[in-house]
Amino acid sequence: ALLFPSGMEKVVACLYKRPNALCRLICFPWAGGGTVRLAQWGRLFNSCIEVYSVRLPGRETRFKEPFAKDMMTVVNEIASVLLEDLQEKPFAFFGHSFGSYISFAVALHLKEKYGLEPVHLFISGAHAPHSESFLLIKRVHDTEDEDIVAHLKLLGGTPSELLQNEEFRKHLILIMREDIRVLQTFSFEKADRNIPLSCDITCFDGSEDIEHDLEAWGDVTTGDISIYKLPGGHFYLLEPANEIFLMKHITRCIENADL
């Protein structure tokens, strides 16, 4: 029997299948990122939580596919592939950086179209989508390849020996450009009367990273918001000690969500 209907294994990596889990944690990677690191989280959680890591077109096993042309395309694909699973049992979202915006866009779409909502939204290293700081990111246009490489070095998270490999570097720059382009097609207008979500939101950030406008995430939900700063830069979440903190905290939040 197929564990995943077709389309699913294209869009989702699930390394540790737990059919009896009470809740699924859907993880959305950073710009230029693949599924591997977050899919590995599956082994760190207890048997109550099954981890899915989302894979966008143009990378890993999907490298022959054209990149998504805008955020709506990304959201529609993820939502349609995951819909049955999301209707079947409770789910939470975790996104890092670019992945935070995708997770939020998917959450908005699910709420609007199907009345579905994550039990908890975990945001990492990202400005609120209606903040001034986010609008500034969207203005980043034709950056030179060298600037992108310098930016990647500054952020960390990519082994320097990989950046020295010309083919890898070219491919990563291409994916980064495409991901930034997708991000530029996403806009969220905050309406005072209509707060889109009702789930709790937790924001994580690296203490050495640039300041992100985290408080403003509270505007997008009627639920509670909490903020945690963990030691490290933009890729603080790759540090084993921080990873353990994230797992424990995410597990506690999901367990407290009255599934």
- Residues tagged active-site: 97, 234
Strands (E), the chain: 12-13, 23-28, 49-54, 91-96, 120-124, 200-206, 225-230
How many other C-beta atoms are found inside a 10 Å radius of the C-beta of residue 205?
Answer: 22
Quote the crossing angle between the two packed helices 98-114 and 166-184, to the nearest 10°. 40
Beta bridge partners, 201, equal: 121, 225
Max Cα-Cα span within the chain: 51
Quote the crossing angle between the two packed helices 71-88 and 166-184, to the nearest 10°. 80
Going from the C-alpha of 210 to that of each of 32, 154, 199, the distances in angstroms are 19, 11, 26
Number of C-alpha atoms within 13 angstroms, CB side, residue 7? 11
Nearest to 97 by CA among 236, 249, 246, 221: 236
Going from the C-alpha of 217 to that of each of 2, 131, 159, 248, the distances in angstroms are 39, 9, 31, 22
